[in-house]
Amino acid sequence: MSVSISAKEVNELRLKTGSGMMDCKKALVEAGGDFDKAIDVLRKKGQKVSAARSNRETSEGVVIYKLSPNEDNASILSFTCETDFVAKNEDFQELASKILDTAFDNNLSSVEEILSSSFGSSTIKQEIVNLIGKIGEKIEIREYQSLEGEKIVPYIHAGNKLGVLVSLVNTSSVDYVEAGKDVAMQIAAMNPIALNKDGVDQTVIDKEIEIGKEQALKEGKPENIVEKIAQGKLQKFFKDNTLLSQPFVKDNSMTIESYLGTFSTELTVDKFLRVSIG
């Protein structure tokens, strides 16, 4: 016996789940008109699509941030999908914002915590699955990080696929926002691996020294000066790859450290985060 499904019921289910009109009608028909069962049908559809696309690459999406009113705490989220078309989808962007709000407002610290957290009568994980069922692409939280400091300056690069948070100290009576934006753009462009040489992992240092030695030997340099040459190359590596020592992209006559010094001899960066997609 066929079940008669009204347009009102279909619309009610659409408003409740965010799924398309045809998907809602099919779910209600399959559930025999039972509203709760129809919701389960739509959820199972999302789970099936999610499982089927679990090995797909998510190289598109958005990077967004949230900053506290005092500018001393911020979080940054990358929410990813398969295509640029979906990245621009209103439902996708709205869910990304809601996820970030939930994580930030509840001081969550990991993707796992976020996925298991409550979201209305559901969880964030289930809401993502629901959206996967509606859109038909793999969607995931790629990365979530937070930063605390004296003053945090955020920056989102054009296209919303790269974001930076910069923590500055000794910001009193200086235009830390202008300085922070320039430093954040530097981080976006040059992708430093650490704040200064003290922040570079020892395994990276050892690898660079080894590479320097090998290059010197291949160039026919005497063995007794190979170590000195390698150390010189290491210093060049620090200059190119650590933030405060990098030449300022807007003016190569200055380093980032000396650029900050034009605002105040005390102004500096104490930490930063860089999150990108693709």
β-pairing, 122-123 vs 60-67, is unpaired
Q: Taking each helix axis from N to C terminus, what angle separates 226-241 and 202-218, rounded to the nearest 10 degrees? A: 130
Give the pLDDT confidence score for residue 240 in this predicted structure: 94
| SS3 call for 66 | strand
Tokens of 96: 């990304």
- Rounded to two decimals, the pTM is 0.80
Q: Residue 243 has what DSSP assignment?
A: G
Q: What integer pLDDT is reported at residue 36 of this predicted model?
A: 75
Domain regions of the chain by residue span: 7-52, 54-148
Query: Tens-of-pLDDT digits for all 278 residues of the chain?
Result: 456 777 777 777 676 666 667 777 777 777 777 777 777 766 666 555 555 566 678 899 999 999 999 999 999 999 999 999 999 999 999 999 999 999 999 999 999 999 999 887 788 998 898 888 888 888 999 999 999 999 999 999 978 999 999 999 999 999 999 999 999 999 999 999 999 999 999 999 999 999 998 988 888 888 889 889 999 999 999 999 999 999 999 999 999 999 999 999 999 999 999 999 97
Residues 6+ apart with CB under 8 A from 158: none
Query: In CATH, what class is 54-148?
Result: alpha beta
Superfamily classification of domain 7-52:
Ubiquitin-associated (UBA) domain (1.10.8.10)
Query: DSSP code of 262?
Result: T
State how far Cα 273 lies from the chain centre: 9
Count of C-beta atoms within a 10 Å radius of residue 34: 14
Query: Coil, strand, or helix at residue 142?
Result: strand
Looking at residue 146, the DSSP 8-state letter turns out to be: E
- Residue 64's nearest CA partner among 183, 140, 163 is 163
